[in-house]
A = this chain, B = another copy of it.
Amino acid sequence: MEKKEEICKKTQKLFVERGYDNTPMSFIAEELGLSKGGLFHYYKTKEELLYDIITNLMERNYVPLLENAREINDPKQRIIYFIRNYTKLMANDNAAKIVVHEAQRLYPVHAEEVRKIWRQTFELLSDSLSEMQRSGECKQLNSKFGAFAIIGMCSWIFYWFDYSRKESVQELSDTFVEILLKGFDTMDGSDVAD
């Protein structure tokens, strides 16, 4: 069991650096100091390895975030909690790339498990926005589009963030909360042109 954890940890690093497609099992074995047969003893296919890595990341990071958010009664504070902590999750660990980008390589039955968690995330956000709308705290926009606006802005981080500059994570999460809740604008008037 410990050996599998070690294999996952090191392979995760290789997938982030080289991409899943560009990292054959023979290369993984070599980097781990194992024979191909030795690696095969623990993982029969590269997909199994990817599945274990993604499952570990989801269970360690994403599921607790979702559960903590669910426990917050006030929908606005729930949304703010999610934006802040999902942004930090994406910016603190470049393994986010594997979860968001490489999950499409999973076999359909495994991909479905991951999609289920994303679906719950989406529902948490769109339900929270709807709840805010009922109490007049959120404007009357399409709450599904609003939920995807949050997920998109934050998930995109792995495409551009400089992971050597961790000191800016707090500023990034403050900025994204501010933009999503209140926008760029300093004006009160409605001058959004067509």
**Residues of chain B contacted by A148 (CB below 8 angstroms):** 156-157, 160
Nearest Cβ on chain B to A129's Cβ, whole angstroms: 7
Q: Does any Cβ of B come within 8 Å of A55's Cβ?
A: no
CB neighbours (8 Å) of A182 from chain B are 182-183, 185, 192
Question: For the complex, is A142 an interface residue (Cβ under 8 Å from B)?
Answer: yes
Contacts of A19 in B (CB 8 A): 104
Q: Is the CB of B171 within 8 A of A142?
A: yes
Docked-complex contact A149 and B153, CB < 8 angstroms = yes
Question: Given A156-B152, A175-B149, are A137 and B21 neighbors across the interface (CB < 8 Å)?
Answer: no
Interface string of A131-153 (1 = CB under 8 A from B): 01000111101100110110111
User: In the docked arrangement, what's the CA distance between A175 and B148, Å?
Assistant: 11
Q: Taking the complex as formed, is A172 at the interface, i.e. its CB lies under 8 A from any CB of chain B?
A: yes
Residues of A within 8 A of B (CB): 19, 21, 76-77, 79-80, 104, 129, 132, 136-139, 141-142, 145-146, 148-149, 151-157, 159-160, 168, 171-172, 175-188, 191-193
